[in-house]
Structure 1
Amino acid sequence: YGVWAPILPALGVFEQVVLWDYRGEIKGEEVTVSVSLSDFLLSALWLLVMWVAARNLPGLMEIILERWTSQDPGTRYASITVTRYLIVAIGLVVILSGLGLQWSQLQWLVAALGVGLGFGLQEIFANFISGLIILFERPVRVGDMVSIGNQTGHIKKIHIRATVLEDFDRKEIIVPNKKLITEQVTNWTLSDTSTRILLDVGVAYGSDPREVESILRESANSVPGLTQDPPPGVWFMGFGESALNFRLRAFVADAEVRMDTTSELHYAIEKALRDHGISIPFPQRDIHIRGLEGLNLVPPQEPKTT
């Protein structure tokens, strides 16, 4: 302050530069209020403060929440996003007030915005409201694995208008927020990360069904990714055209490793059946051609050499 104190009186010249006047109300009386260059520069300073705060405070808040609280990533992301919205909203109110823009002067803008929402901007507004519902109600969270239509992946970011879904090919799919609210969405990890695996296995006729059931159950119990509560189950489903059909049901503790666990289960079942001499058949067909009984079939003769 000691360095800048001699300069501060010189800045008062900005107060003398009037940019515009507006009619305001002070203690119930209408007066003419002037907006000076000093007010404009102060509003610009508030704009800079708002921009810096909106960019940096949410990141600082995320570090504090991650270190000192036990909130999950989805809750932290929702809190940080709402904080950023509040910073921008408060900053705009302060800036507009400093420039002399009052509610009475903004009514025409609000009316025009309402007309725009009724026509061309209604989808954008619907996506914005849907984004707020997602942040507060949290049907999906950042990091959740969801299925939307024929797309499955992880929620990466939730923006004002749309949500970013990253599929298993590492492609980012932009999904409008309204779609997450109005359409059916499967959240694989909302309240329980476990998921079920159903595996159909066919063995050759002549195999002992009880032995096959025991082999399948032991194979499932040997795979580390499968849970024991509930335990794996095996059922003899029926007699197929070429095989005795069994169904194995098991649960994976974490949906993230569903495919890896399913692959390990396939390896374990194939090896166990091969070790016990039980084959997995493939469809076979016998072809009978009628009308060949009365034909005199002459075997082909080898050509004579000269």
Structure 2
Amino acid sequence: MNDDNLASQLSTFVDMFNAGTIFLLFFCIFVLWLINWLIRHMMGRVMTRFPSRRFAVMQLTTLLSFVLYIIGAIVLVVGVLRPPQEFLIAIGGSAAVAVGFALKDVAASLISGLILLFDRPFQVGDRVTFDNVYGEIMAITLRTVRLRTLDDNIVTIPNSRFITDVVASGNLGAMDMMVVTDFHLALDADIQQAQDIARQVIVTSRFAYLKKPVTFAIEEVQVAERLAIRLRAKAYVLDVDYEKAFQSDVTVRTSALFRERGVLRPAG
């Protein structure tokens, strides 16, 4: 009887994965991929046309991809494979244990992806720091988060790591973001003059977002085993894409004005 059951189950399995079903399965997977590619392509054109709304568009694209793949997977199993109830009952328990054990990390990442989507500790387009990696969130997929560093490297991180580890978001969905720029001065430098110069440079930068305040923090620090004054300028860039351009602009012009106006720097 057991042999008959085994033969019946094998026959059912073979019938499920006949040539026609396999072709249809791969065709449907290709269609899912194509639909997802078309959605991302169209959303990319929308972002190009409306750059100020690109964060919202990127987040909508991520949500649509989630929904597409989840619904698509259900349709493939129910509509294409159509496994009989007896077959599911016969192998469901052992298969669930085996697949669950093999895919526990994937399952954890999938669940974590849903948590990230609704809890939103960060969003697509945010500038974040995670495990000494800093960059922009490019995509939140079912299993991973893709982050592009400022050196244009793509870092792929499992979703589950963001649930347990600390992540810092610099803008949390906003277009503007605070950018911190440090300048080091000699102990006997005119700090007020240096601060005025830095403020002048910041407010005249084409990348500055002036609806938010420009602030400074001043403290003594050790530079090359010598005490110095650190002048830390805190200002907002109008678009996170201009972060490094803004910081470079402020650094270059401020340093030039320090030399021109005789602001003392730490001895080399």
TM-score in terms of structure 2 length: 0.73
The number of aligned residues is 248
How far apart, in 1, do the equivalents of 2:45 and 2:230 lie?
Answer: 53
Shift of 1:225: 1.9
Residue 140 of structure 2 corresponds to residue 155 of structure 1: no
CA gap of 1:253–1:280, structure 2 versus 1, over 3 A, is same
CA distance in 2, matches of 1:236, 1:223: 22
Is the aligned partner of 1:214 residue 2:199? no
- 57-66 or 78-87, which moves further after superposition? 57-66
Q: 2:76 is matched with which residue?
A: 91
For the pair 1:262 / 2:247, whether they are aligned, the reply is yes
2:230 paired with 1:252: no
- Structure 1 residues 229 and 243, CA, compared in 2 at 3 Å: closer, same or farther? same
Aligned to 2:263: 278
CA distance 1:243–1:72, shift in 2 (3 Å): same
Identity of matched residues, %: 21
Any idea what SS the aligned residue of 2:148 has? strand
Q: Distance in 1 between matches of 2:250 and 2:46?
A: 40
Q: What is the CA–CA distance in structure 1 between the aligned matches of 2:36 and 2:185, rounded to whole Å?
A: 56
Change (3 A) 1:103 1:148: farther
For 2:72 and 2:229, the matched residues in 1 are separated by: 66
Higher relative contact order (CA 8 A, sep 6+): 2
Alignment correspondent of 2:153: 171
Residues 1:52 and 2:30 are matched in the alignment: yes
Residue 94 of structure 2 aligns with an amino acid whose one-letter code is A
* Residues 238 and 244, structure 1, Cα contact 8 Å, conserved in 2: yes
Q: Greater shift after overlay, 64-73 or 243-252?
A: 64-73
CA drift at 1:202: 1.5
The worse-fitting range, judged by mean Cα deviation, of 88-97 and 244-253 is: 244-253
Letter in 2 for 1:279: L
CA RMSD in angstroms, aligned pairs only: 3.8
Distance in 1 between residues matched to 2:221 and 2:156, nearest whole Å:
47
Deviation at 1:242, TM superposition (A): 6.1
Moved more, 224-233 or 45-54: 45-54
Structure 1 unmatched ranges of 5 or more:
1-19, 23-33, 284-306
What is the Cα deviation at residue 126 of structure 1?
Answer: 0.8
Separation (CA, whole Å) in 2 of partners of 1:117 and 1:136: 26
